Amino acid sequence: MRRVVAQVATATAEKVEVKPGAGFDFNTYMVDRAKLVNKALDDAVPQKYPDTLYESMRYSLLAGGKRVRPALCLAACELVGGDIQAALPAACAMEMVHTMSLIHDDLPSMDNDDFRRGRPTNHKVYGEDIAILSGDALLSYSFEHIARATKGVSADRVLRVIMELGKAVGAEGLVAGQVVDIQSEDKEVGLDVLRYIHINKTAALLEASVVCGAILGGADEATIEKLRKYSVNIGLAFQVIDDILDVTQTTEQLGKTAAKDLAVNKTTYPKLLGLEKSKQVAEQLIDEAIAQLDGFDKANAAPLVALAKYIGYRQN
Amino acid sequence: MRRVVAQVATATAEKVEVKPGAGFDFNTYMVDRAKLVNKALDDAVPQKYPDTLYESMRYSLLAGGKRVRPALCLAACELVGGDIQAALPAACAMEMVHTMSLIHDDLPSMDNDDFRRGRPTNHKVYGEDIAILSGDALLSYSFEHIARATKGVSADRVLRVIMELGKAVGAEGLVAGQVVDIQSEDKEVGLDVLRYIHINKTAALLEASVVCGAILGGADEATIEKLRKYSVNIGLAFQVIDDILDVTQTTEQLGKTAAKDLAVNKTTYPKLLGLEKSKQVAEQLIDEAIAQLDGFDKANAAPLVALAKYIGYRQN
A286-297 pLDDT tens trace:
999 999 999 999
Instruction: Report the gap between the CA of B156 and the closest CA in chain A (Å).
Output: 6
Checking if the pLDDT of A12 tops 50, the result is: no
Checking if the pLDDT of A160 tops 90, the result is: yes
Checking if the pLDDT of A19 tops 70, the result is: no
Q: Which of A103, A126, A153, A179 to mutate to test the interface with B (most CBs of B within 10 A)?
A: A179
A131-155 pLDDT tens trace:
999 999 999 999 999 999 999 999 9
Checking if the pLDDT of B19 tops 50, the result is: no
Mean pLDDT, range B11-24, rounded to an integer: 49
Residues of A in contact with B167 (CB under 8 A): 144
- Residue A172's pLDDT is 96
Checking if the pLDDT of B265 tops 80, the result is: no
- Residue A9's pLDDT is 39
User: How far is it, in rounded angstroms, from Cα A109 to Cα B127?
Assistant: 8
Checking if the pLDDT of A15 tops 60, the result is: no
Mean pLDDT, range B158-165, rounded to an integer: 98
- Residue B22's pLDDT is 57
Residues of B in contact with A147 (CB under 8 A): 159-160, 162-163, 166
Contact B244, B198 (CB under 8 A): no
Query: Among residues of chain A, what percentage have pLDDT more than 90?
Result: 80
Q: Taking CA atoms, what residue in B is nearest to A148?
A: B163
- Per-chain mean pLDDT for chain A: 91
Interface residue A54 vs chain B (CB under 8 A): yes
- Residue A65's pLDDT is 83
Interface residue A143 vs chain B (CB under 8 A): yes
Interface residue B133 vs chain A (CB under 8 A): yes
User: How far is it, in rounded angstroms, from Cα A139 to Cα B171?
Assistant: 10
- Residue B23's pLDDT is 74
User: Are A166 and B158 in contact (CB < 8 Å)?
Assistant: no
Of B127, B160, B183, the CB nearest to A52: B183
User: Are A109 and B100 in contact (CB < 8 Å)?
Assistant: no
Checking if the pLDDT of B107 tops 60, the result is: yes
- Residue B5's pLDDT is 35
Of A136, A171, A178, the CB nearest to B54: A171
What are the residue ranges of helices labelled H in B153-220?
155-169, 174-183, 191-198, 204-216
Checking if the pLDDT of A7 tops 70, the result is: no
Checking if the pLDDT of A306 tops 50, the result is: yes
A80-119 pLDDT tens trace:
999 999 999 999 999 999 999 999 999 999 999 999 878 9
Instruction: Report the gap between the CA of A236 and the closest CA in chain B (Å).
Output: 20
User: Are A158 and B154 in contact (CB < 8 Å)?
Assistant: no
Checking if the pLDDT of A48 tops 70, the result is: yes
Of A57, A132, A159, the CB nearest to B155: A159
Residues of A in contact with B148 (CB under 8 A): 163, 166
Interface residue B109 vs chain A (CB under 8 A): yes
- Residue B249's pLDDT is 81
Interface residue B231 vs chain A (CB under 8 A): no
User: How far is it, in rounded angstroms, from Cα B276 to Cα A265?
Assistant: 60
Instruction: Report the gap between the CA of A57 and the closest CA in chain B (Å).
Output: 9
- pLDDT-based confidence at residue B11 (cuts at 50, 70, 90): very low
Interface residue B104 vs chain A (CB under 8 A): yes
Interface residue A127 vs chain B (CB under 8 A): yes
Contact A270, A278 (CB under 8 A): yes
- pLDDT-based confidence at residue B1 (cuts at 50, 70, 90): very low
What is the Cα A62 distance to its own chain's centre?
Answer: 15
User: Are A175 and B137 in contact (CB < 8 Å)?
Assistant: yes
Interface residue B107 vs chain A (CB under 8 A): yes
Angle, in degrees to the nearest 10, between helices B84-105 and B128-149: 160
Interface subset of B 157-186, CB within 8 angstroms of A = 158-160, 162-163, 165-167, 169-171, 175-176, 178-180, 182-183
Q: Which of A52, A57, A140 to mutate to test the interface with B (most CBs of B within 10 A)?
A: A140
Checking if the pLDDT of A70 tops 60, the result is: yes
Mean pLDDT, range B28-57, rounded to an integer: 97
Long-range CB pairs of B149-156 (<8 Å, 24+ gap) are: B149/B44, B149/B88, B149/B89, B150/B86, B150/B89, B150/B90, B150/B216, B151/B85, B151/B86, B152/B83, B152/B85, B152/B86, B153/B86, B153/B216, B153/B218, B154/A155, B155/A154, B155/A155, B155/A156, B155/A158, B155/A159, B156/A155
Q: Taking CA atoms, what residue in B is nearest to A168?
A: B140
Residues of B in contact with A154 (CB under 8 A): 155
3-class SS of residue B99: helix
Residues of A in contact with B147 (CB under 8 A): 159-160, 162-163, 166
Mean pLDDT, range B15-23, rounded to an integer: 49
Residue of B213 and B246 predicted with greater confidence: B213
CA geometry: angle A261, A263, A266, nearest 5 deg:
40
- pLDDT-based confidence at residue B250 (cuts at 50, 70, 90): confident
Secondary element (H or E) of residue B271:
helix B269-273
Mean pLDDT, range B137-154, rounded to an integer: 98
- Residue A11's pLDDT is 39
Instruction: Report the domain count for chain A.
Output: 1
Across A123-137, B157-171, B259-273, least confident range = B259-273
User: Are B144 and A166 in contact (CB < 8 Å)?
Assistant: yes
Q: Taking CA atoms, what residue in A is nearest to B166?
A: A144
- pLDDT-based confidence at residue B280 (cuts at 50, 70, 90): very high
Mean pLDDT, range B86-91, rounded to an integer: 98
> What residue type is assigned to position B90 of the chain?
A
- pLDDT-based confidence at residue B14 (cuts at 50, 70, 90): very low
- Residue A22's pLDDT is 57
- pLDDT-based confidence at residue A8 (cuts at 50, 70, 90): very low
- Pairs of residues, one from chain A and one from chain B, whose beta carbons lie less than 8 Å apart: 153
Interface residue A244 vs chain B (CB under 8 A): no
Interface residue A8 vs chain B (CB under 8 A): no
Checking if the pLDDT of B272 tops 70, the result is: yes
Interface residue B124 vs chain A (CB under 8 A): no
Q: What is the CATH number of the domain that holds A235?
A: 1.10.600.10
Say how many C-beta atoms besides its own lie within 10 A of residue A48's C-beta.
11
Range of the domain at A256: 2-313
Of A132, A162, A165, the CB nearest to B109: A132
Interface residue A205 vs chain B (CB under 8 A): no
CA geometry: angle B228, B233, B238, nearest 5 deg:
125
Query: Nearest Cα to A53, choosing from B44, B74, B177, B121?
Result: B177
Query: Nearest Cα to B157, choosing from B77, B68, B72?
Result: B77
Residue of B219 and A16 predicted with greater confidence: B219
3-class SS of residue A17: coil
